[in-house]
């Protein structure tokens, strides 16, 4: 079995995995980080989105061995020193989540957007979220939360 070394939420991980292990299974089953979810089997729902090497990816469509040597951030690694990430805060303040199942993927995906485009307009936010399906919120408050976060981060910068 291949041995992989990676960093997950700033902690080094060294582990033997079967080559066929999906990254999402490494995260959920082996590392017990169950904030990353599986909502479909056709790589579309986005509940499993995590950051790998600074890019948001669907962890159901990537092998754990492909993450060898990379930095991985899951929803559990977003808050720092007990402080919620500005996006997490914005989702809370804007009621950007209901059942919470898609939320980790949406938050990670949105953080990738704001990194690439700190001032997205409404249309750009909606288009970026193409890969995240939410059945509860009608996306209204998700988009509001991302807008608020973008505004605040700009204000802070």
Partner 1 sequence: MDNFEFHKPTSIDDAIKAVDGKDEPKFLAGGQSLIPVMKLDMAQPSDLVSLAGVATLKEIKEDGDTLVIGAMATHATVAESDAVTKAIPSIASMAGHIGDAQVRNRGTIGGSVAHADPAADYPAALVALNATVKTHKREIAAEDFFTELFETALEEGELITAIHFKKPKRSWYEKFQSPASKYAIAGVCVAEYDDGVRVAITGAGNKVFRHAGMEKALSGNFDPSALDGVDVDAGELRTDVEASAEYRAHLVKVMAKRAVKNAR
Partner 2 sequence: MGKVIGERVLRKEDTRFLTGKGRYTDDLNRPNQAYAYVLRSPMAHAKIASIDTEDAKQADGVLAVLTGKDHADAGFGGLPCGWLIHNKDGSPMHEPPHPSLVADRVRHVGDNVAVVIAETKAQAKAAAQMIMVDYEELPVVPDITAAIADGAPKVWDDTPVGNRCYDWHIGEKDPTDAAFAKAKHVVSIDLVNQRLIPNAMEPRAAIGEYDPSTDDHTLWTTSQNPHLIRLLIGAFTMQIPEHKLRIIAPDVGGGFGSKIYHYAEEVLVLWASKVVGRPVKWTAERSESFITDAHGRDHISHAELAIDDKGKFLGLRVSTKANMGAYLSTFASAVPTYLYGTLLSGVYVIPAIYAEVEAVFTNTTAVDAYRGAGRPEATYLLERLVTKAARELGIDEVELRRRNVIQPDQFPYQTPVALEYDVGEFEKCLDVALEQVDYANFEKRREEAKSRGMLRGIGMSLYVEACGLAPSALAGAIGARAGLYESGTIRVNPTGNVTVFTGTHSHGQGHETTFAQLVADQLGIPVESVEVKHGDTSNTAFGMGSYGSRSLPVGGSALWKAGEKIIAKGRKIAAHILEASVDDVEFVDGEFRVKGTDKKMLFAEVAFSAYVPHNYPLEELEPGLEESAFYDPKNFTFPGGCHVVEVEIDPETGVTKVVDVAVADDVGKVINPMIVDGQIHGGLAQGIGQALLEHAKYDEQGQLLTGSYMTYTMPRAADFPFFKVGNHVTHCTHNPLGSKGCGEVGAIGVPPAVINAVINALEPEGVTDIEMPATPERVWRALNEAKKA
What's the rounded Cα separation, in Å, for the pair 37 and 103?
Answer: 9
What's the rounded Cα separation, in Å, for the pair 75 and 79?
Answer: 8
Query: Considering beta carbons, is residue 63 or 144 the nearer one to partner 2?
Result: 144
Query: Considering beta carbons, is residue 69 or 72 the nearer one to partner 2?
Result: 72
Other CB atoms within a 10 A radius of the CB of residue 71 amount to: 15
Query: Considering beta carbons, is residue 69 or 119 the nearer one to partner 2?
Result: 119
Residue 123's contacts (CB-CB under 8 Å, 6 or more residues apart) are none
Report the nearest approach of partner 2 to the CB of residue 52 (Å). 16
Query: Considering beta carbons, is residue 21 or 69 the nearer one to partner 2?
Result: 21
With contacts defined by CB under 8 A, how many residues of the chain interact with partner 1?
28
The structure tokens listed for 63 are 């092998």
With contacts defined by CB under 8 A, how many residues of the chain interact with partner 2?
54
Taking CB under 8 A as the binding criterion, the range among 62-70, 79-87, 96-104, 148-156 that sits at the site for partner 1 is 62-70
| Site membership for partner 2, residue 48 (CB under 8 A) | no
Element (H, E) at 93: helix 86-93
Judge contact between 132 and 102, C-beta under 8 A.
yes
Residue 28 DSSP class: I
Residues that bind partner 1 (CB under 8 A): 2, 18-20, 22, 41-44, 46, 49, 55-58, 60-63, 65-66, 68, 109, 112-113, 128, 130-131
């Amino acid at each position: 079995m291949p041995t992989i070394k990676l960093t997950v939420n700033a902690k080094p991980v060294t582990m033997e995995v079967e080559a066929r292990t999906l990254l999402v299974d490494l995260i959920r089953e082996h590392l017990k980080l169950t904030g990353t979810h599986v909502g479909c089997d056709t790589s579309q729902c986005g509940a499993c989105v995590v950051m790998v090497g600074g890019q948001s990816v669907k962890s159901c469509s990537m092998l754990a061995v492909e993450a060898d040597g990379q930095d991985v951030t899951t929803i559990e690694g977003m808050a720092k020193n007990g402080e919620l990430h500005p996006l997490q805060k914005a989702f809370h303040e804007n009621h950007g989540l209901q059942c919470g199942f898609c939320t980790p993927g949406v938050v990670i995906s949105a953080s990738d957007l704001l990194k690439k485009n700190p001032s997205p307009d409404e249309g750009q936010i909606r288009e970026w979220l193409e890969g995240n399906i939410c059945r509860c919120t009608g996306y209204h408050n998700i988009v509001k939360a991302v807008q608020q976060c973008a505004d605040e981060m700009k204000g802070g910068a």
